[in-house]
Amino acid sequence: MSSSKVILATASYDSNIRFWEAPTGTSYRAIPYTDSQVNRLAISPDKAFLAAAGNPHVRFFEINSYNSSPVTSFDGHTGNVTGLGFQKDGKWMYTGSEDGTIKIWDLRASGCQRDYDCGAPVNTGTSS
């Protein structure tokens, strides 16, 4: 698949992440996701990875591959990850969770680089 194509990805209660051809509405790829429900999906700014937020982790899948195994996992939350997004250059990712924390991840390093305690569940987030 060319990186210039429109990428549409969905997740549902059928335990699958699906990629779709936007013009035709045809599903061309399904990734089984049986670890938990998927709470949020986000496409990396370079359109190379699909991030799937679950409970209690985020898994990265290659977009331009038919490999259904995650290429990496971000672990550190203790509850559902409900917020997920990327800094515009794709060097950082943020996650928010029902465990009341927001975590900042440097995608070029391992582990969480910043951890903020909100004291209440986090539903979503945005960056600019």
Pairing of strands 40-43, 26-32: unpaired
Taking CA atoms, 76 is separated from 29, 107, 112, 114, in Å, by 29, 14, 7, 11
Angle at 29 between CA 24 and CA 35, to 5 degrees: 135
The pLDDT score that the predictor gives to residue 3 is 47
- pLDDT category of residue 128 using cuts at 50, 70 and 90: low
Mean pLDDT of 91-111: 95
Q: From CA 97, how far away is CA 82, in angstroms rounded?
A: 5
The pLDDT score that the predictor gives to residue 99 is 97
Sketch the domain layout of the chain as residue ranges: 8-117
CATH match for 8-117 among 2.40.30.10, 2.130.10.10, 3.30.470.10, 1.10.287.1040: 2.130.10.10
What predicted TM-score, i.e. pTM, was given to this entire model? 0.90
- Dump pLDDT digits (tens) for 7-52: 899 998 889 999 999 889 999 999 999 989 999 999 999 999 999 9
> What single DSSP character describes residue 99?
T
- Dump pLDDT digits (tens) for 53-91: 999 999 999 999 999 999 999 999 999 999 999 999 999
